[in-house]
Structure 1
Amino acid sequence: MRWLVTGAGGMLGQDLCAVLATSGASFEAATRAELDITSPSAVRDAVAGVDVVLNAAAWTDVDGAETAEDAALRINDASALAEVAGKRLVHFSTDYVFDGSVSSPYPEDTPQAPINAYGRTKAAGERAVLAAGGYVVRTAWLYGAHGPNFVKTMLRLAGERDTLDVVDDQVGPPTWSYALAEQAVALARSGAAPGAYHGTAAGSTTWFGLARAVFELSGLDPERVRPTTSDKFVRPARRPAYSVLGHDRWAGTGVDPLPSWRPMLRAFLQQ
């Protein structure tokens, strides 16, 4: 199999490349500067002869999308890739396609209901990919070794501040990007039916709970982390209050759902 990783310079893109390299796969890595995924002609050239496209290219500035939705949509709608790659495409999406108003994990077939501009652009991407017969892998609360993310921010702030106030009224599944990359590559190799899958850790916590776990597992005093509420940190884009995703569709694919978030976090921090 020959693979193409788009968005190869990002957090998830770098982990996808690492997973493929470790397995000895033949792949090409294209960063945003190297491949314009909004250009049909550039996409056709890049995808020629490729068996699987792993699309990690995305506009990820959630707040910035509120004032630049058209620009975010051009990147996140994935129409050019979907048209050319079709069922060869594995496209990464987000919990932000849902409104966060529930209190139990979202099944994979839940209707979209985004509450911000970023979510609307990612929802458009999902529709294009699913209409073309490809795979959508939704994830949430992603962290990893590359690029900025919540876990790395907590570790940095631990060295700069005596205490941290972290919101305790948003619930989600902290997910290690490398584990997601392994799962996505396994899905592409499995021959499982195309459609939507949820690539998130099992279980859930709040941002406050995650911050305390980062401190505890790093040998720091978790009491330095204090709970607060979202209204103390007003952001341009509304955030879903509940971002836990169900994993029923993995049954029968031969690919395991991701493990619980806390052991996954421990494994990341031990690296």
Structure 2
Amino acid sequence: MKNILVTGANGQLGNEMRLLAEVNKEYAYFFTDVAELDICDEQAVRNFVAEHQIDIIVNCAAYTAVDKAEDNQELCDKLNHVAPGYLAKAIESRGGHFIQVSTDYVFDGTAHIPYTEEQPTCPDSVYGITKLAGEQEAMKYCSKTMIVRTAWLYSTFGNNFVKTMLRLGREKTSLGVIFDQIGTPTYARDLAVAIFAAINKGIVPGIYHFSNEGVCSWYDFTQMIHHLAGIDSCRLKPLHTEEYPTKAKRPHYSVLDKTKIKDTFGIEIPYWVDSLKECVDKLLA
């Protein structure tokens, strides 16, 4: 039986991995967050991986507060860049596999067709720069590394855009939402399903992209959230990016091409509206 370590287990993706572990019973799991294992402590990582004879690490831990990252560069770098290197070294010493979750922010968002894995990266924020450095660190130190870049993650767990828009939709009579940033939402459960598909089929090292199918703007996304939740008392107003200034630069276009992950692991990816409906129904229940 293979031993799988899932870090960042209290986050959106980590919690979805936890739920899916219940139906993937052929593995033994170690779910950790900072209280159980500080991944920024190299010795602690090495000891944990050796002691529990870990075969696969899925690193769901990250510093994801994109705007705060601009002011907390050191902490962000530690978690997103340095820590993946520690995990990669530890699992390499056991000849194991490493799955590092990354982001669409490794691109600057100036494209107009979906990004493939081969396209040159060009991050435009501290968050994006540290996540790209984490990818490079992972691949440098573990020969069996699989990078999975994702975007616009939401779930029934933690704080996320879907939950915020549900709350604001109920509280406010009008709401301004950015319409000129285009991407694809990703239901964390669907990403967890894809990760398990890779584990079950056999991890093929390399860089992969994963989000749900289709494209939308944050404005479209919010319209659909409100529609599915039956919220009709809040009027949405489309905003340009410059009308809503943020510390970190956001990619204007960050649609990811998912052909590689679909072909390699034989997975079907749900349309973003279908997955959103599933999540909203769970939140309303």
- Scaled to the shorter chain, the TM-score interval is over 0.9
- TM-score computed with the length of structure 1 as normaliser: 0.96
- TM-score computed with the length of structure 2 as normaliser: 0.91
Deviation string, structure 1 residues 52-105 (Cα, Å, up to 9, x no partner): 111011111111111221221111011101111245111100000000000010
Structure 2: runs of 5+ lacking an equivalent: none
Q: Is the 8 A contact 1:247 1:257 kept in 2?
A: no
Aligned-partner Cα distance in 1 for 2:166–2:234: 14
Q: Is the 8 A contact 2:97 2:203 kept in 1?
A: no
SS state at 1:63 partner = helix
Superposed, 1:44-83 pairs within 5 Å as: 44-48=46-50, 49-77=53-81, 78-83=84-89
Deviation, structure 1 residue 223: 6.8
Deviation, structure 1 residue 229: 1.1
Q: Is the 8 A contact 1:137 1:197 kept in 2?
A: yes
Choose 93-102 or 68-77, whichever is displaced more.
68-77
Task: Indicate how the Cα distance of structure 1 residues 139 and 89 shifts in structure 2: closer, same or farther if over 3 A, else same.
Answer: same
Q: Is the 8 A contact 1:212 1:223 kept in 2?
A: no
Deviation, structure 1 residue 27: 0.4
Deviation string, structure 1 residues 236-268 (Cα, Å, up to 9, x no partner): 110000110001212442331422111111111
Q: Is the 8 A contact 1:215 1:222 kept in 2?
A: no
Q: Which residue of 2 aligns with 1:129?
A: 138
Does residue 116 of structure 1 match 2:125?
Answer: yes
Deviation, structure 1 residue 29: 0.7
Structure 1: runs of 5+ lacking an equivalent: none
Q: Is the 8 A contact 2:210 2:261 kept in 1?
A: no
| Count of residues in correspondence between the two structures | 271
Aligned-partner Cα distance in 2 for 1:94–1:222: 34
Aligned-partner Cα distance in 1 for 2:201–2:22: 18
Choose 3-12 or 244-253, whichever is displaced more.
244-253
Deviation string, structure 1 residues 183-203 (Cα, Å, up to 9, x no partner): 112112222420111121111
Q: Is the 8 A contact 2:123 2:129 kept in 1?
A: yes
Give the alignment's Cα RMSD to 1 decimal: 1.5
SS state at 1:159 partner = helix
Q: Is the 8 A contact 2:10 2:33 kept in 1?
A: yes
Does residue 97 of structure 1 match 2:109?
Answer: no
Q: Which residue of 1 aligns with 2:37?
A: 35
Choose 40-49 or 115-124, whichever is displaced more.
40-49
Deviation, structure 1 residue 38: 1.7
AA at the equivalent of 1:171: I
Q: Percent identity?
A: 37
SS state at 1:138 partner = strand
